[in-house]
Amino acid sequence: MANHKATKKDVRQAAKRRERNKYYGKTTRNAIRDLKALKTNGEATKEFPEVASMIDKLAKRGIIHKNKAANLKSKLAKKINTLAK
């Protein structure tokens, strides 16, 4: 365990950030799962901008890499486009 006052504070802050990051990540993963489960193009097209925004926020916060965010959005867009056919 940490001995210095500043190090103890850093441990507390890191734990708080880790919990927050886990929440954002899990919420986004659930939204992606729900979007993939949609069967109609209309619903999926309506939901996609919200999910894409969530993914972008994860990348901005550094929770996921920006390339992973781009890949996720690309795959989701591709899936939605196949629903249109």
**In this predicted structure, what is the pLDDT of residue 34?**
96
**In this predicted structure, what is the pLDDT of residue 85?**
75
Q: What is the pTM of this model?
A: 0.86
CA 32 – CA 25 distance, rounded (Å): 11
What is the phi/psi pair of residue 15, to 5°?
-65, -40
Contact 84, 41 (CB under 8 A): yes
pLDDT band with cut points at 50, 70 and 90 for residue 1 = low
- Name which of 21, 24, 46, 44 is nearest 34 in CA terms: 44
pLDDT band with cut points at 50, 70 and 90 for residue 17 = very high
On the question of pLDDT at 22 being above 90, the answer is: yes
On the question of pLDDT at 2 being above 90, the answer is: no
Contact 47, 77 (CB under 8 A): no
CA 64 – CA 69 distance, rounded (Å): 7
